[in-house]
Amino acid sequence: PRSTLFPYTTLFRSGTRPDISYSIIKLARYASNPSPDYITAVKRVLRYLKATKDYSIIYSNNNTNISSYISGYCDADYAGDISTAKSTLGWIFYIAGGPISWKSKLQSIIAQSTTEAEYIAINSATKEAVFIKQLMTELDVYKQTKFPIYTDNNGALALAKNPIFHERTKHIAVKYHYIRQLIEEGTIDLVYINTKDQKSDGLTKPLDKTKFKEFLVQLGFI
């Protein structure tokens, strides 16, 4: 629908709900053998959805440059799963002012440090970035010179840009160093961002009320 407040701006809405992604992947792990606590948690999510049924992602084409600009954010919660000691990765990509692609997933291996967990998350995000860039290039709408992916971990950022192995990271599987190739080719630009501005934080762990509200604002819901 065209906005009545901004007659030269077209707004598009999507009812998809990335705000519950972490909750869904968490609950899905126990779906085959649900406990009473599991049922209570599912009902809590359903009550939340009922109370926020009007929430929607808004995309705007009010500015050609902004509407076609893509950026990504990736994060990881180190050893956040108590039962397995595995980390949860999360990434989200934005275009036209709203998220278009996101993921929240328990990592398949046990990371041995925060840097490693974040590095694995970046690797997952770069694969999606390559797909998005190829798609938009084929549609002839990819106009930017660099595809930024933001991370709030300096260790992972240094590891991605430094080809020299050191004792704490030399065990990391070679497949994760795909990131370096993309940086060297200029396909992506890995950029540091302050943790408070990390838009994928809510995809990696449960947030308190204040932080979750900030997450909703970042998604464009409120």
Q: What is the pLDDT of residues 161-189, one digit of tens each?
A: 876 655 556 667 778 888 989 999 999 99
Q: What is the dihedral sign for C-alpha 129, 134, 139, 140?
A: positive
Region 116-137 average pLDDT: 95
Question: pTM of the entire structure?
Answer: 0.89
User: Rounded to an integer, what distance in angstroms lies between the CA atom of residue 118 and that of residue 85?
Assistant: 15
Amino acid 166: pLDDT: 59
Closest CA to 93 of 195, 213, 182, 219: 219
- From the CB of residue 71, how many other CB atoms can be counted at a distance below 10 Å? 18
User: Rounded to an integer, what distance in angstroms lies between the CA atom of residue 152 and that of residue 196?
Assistant: 9
Q: Coil, strand or helix: which one is 158?
A: helix
Closest CA to 2 of 14, 15, 13: 13
Per-residue pLDDT band at 6 (split at 50, 70, 90): very low
Amino acid 122: pLDDT: 96
Q: For residue 72, what are the β-bridge partners?
A: 93, 149
Amino acid 1: pLDDT: 41
Q: Could you tell me if 219 and 19 are in contact, meaning their C-beta atoms sit under 8 angstroms apart?
A: yes
**Does residue 124 carry a pLDDT above 60?**
yes
Amino acid 63: pLDDT: 58
Amino acid 13: pLDDT: 78
Q: For residue 75, what are the β-bridge partners?
A: 90
Residue 192 corresponds to which tokens in the numbers above? 């540091």
78-86 LR contacts (CB < 8 Å, sep 24+)? 78/111, 78/113, 78/114, 78/117, 78/118, 79/110, 79/111, 79/117, 80/204, 80/205, 81/106, 84/110, 85/110, 86/110, 86/111
Q: What is the DSSP letter of 4?
A: S
**Does residue 145 carry a pLDDT above 90?**
no
Could you report the per-residue pLDDT of 16-66, keeping only the tens digit for each?
999 999 999 999 988 999 999 999 999 999 999 999 999 999 888 765 555
**Does residue 76 carry a pLDDT above 80?**
yes
Q: What is the DSSP letter of 109?
A: S
Amino acid 43: pLDDT: 97
Amino acid 170: pLDDT: 67
Per-residue pLDDT band at 72 (split at 50, 70, 90): very high
Amino acid 172: pLDDT: 77
Share of the chain above pLDDT 90, in %: 67
pLDDT top residue among 107 and 63: 107
**DSSP assignment string, 183-211:** HHHTS-EEEE--GGG-TTGGGTS---HHH
Per-residue pLDDT band at 222 (split at 50, 70, 90): confident
